[in-house]
Structure 1
Amino acid sequence: MHLIDLLHFLFDSPIDLTRCRVGLQTKVPRKGGVEVKVDDHAFVSGLLEDGPSFTLTASKATRPEHTGFTLALSGSRGDLVHHSQDGPVLHARTGVDWEPVKVLGPGRLADPAGEVPGWADSFVDQLHAWAGAVTGSRPPASVADFDTGYRAQRVLEELLRGGGRV
């Protein structure tokens, strides 16, 4: 869901649900002697209505160097890849060579291994935004609203409904 939100935020383009492929897998069927009943590896690939193709991957059951979240986009002007283990760096290519692009400054709190960069600080930022909104001392600058969350939830529901399942 967070990666779908990120696509919407970065590109302000709807996802073409008719051209998506979805894969949900349970790669670790038992943990601690108990049957696992949730997926631990998922991917969605498809197109945004405005053009770029994308692949989203979230996995907690793969080789340690691949565990986490991956966002990969390819468009007519270049490519963009980010893996949560790369921290606040994404990789962009507009020609032949890939260039690292730092997207966040130093964090106040350490993120857990494999989490999206800034994950730990996001909770602190959220609390400050809520407190400022309640007291009126700091109105929210740009906060996701109900419609934003509902938009991503509708995409997720349609993808899970079975369209394009592999």
Structure 2
Amino acid sequence: MKINFWLNGAKKEAEISPDIMLLEFLRSLGCYSVKRGCETANCGLCTVLVNDKPMLSCSVLAARIDGKKVTTMEGLQAEAEEFGTFLANEGAEQCGFCNPGFIMNVLAMTKELEDPTEEEIKEYLAGNLCRCSGFVGQTRSILKYLECKKNGNIQEKEVQA
């Protein structure tokens, strides 16, 4: 079946098998930030944005993106790097395997929630699993990131050596 969609801002057309999952399809297009984790929609590693909303690509057929806008971390490099700096500064990157899905959800949250509380942040990110940490560093990094964005001094944050 033929689908038309936008991937990271570029219009695309593809011939796909009707049963291919979005995760597999995106990886076949070189979007390697989309990670395979649990394949049961429980860990958040495969998160992408579809029409600016987070979606677990391991549980969605690629056919569902026909006519839609899909964004992976490859399409959000500047924003991902910006927030990733805060993760690194708080020692929250650990092994880094969960970071792409986590970062995608954080970036989606910043567009969806205005000035979220710590409790709202935890609720929004509840579907992201990290086996390396207890999310203390991640939460700290999000709060600092949001504060810097609010104050307009995001560029002042740099990874500490």
Name the structure with the higher helix share: 2
Which TM-score band (shorter chain)?
under 0.3
Name the structure with the higher strand share: 1
Task: Point out which structure has higher relative CO (alpha carbons under 8 A, 6+ apart).
Answer: 2
The two structures have a TM-score, normalised by structure 2, of: 0.24
The two structures have a TM-score, normalised by structure 1, of: 0.24
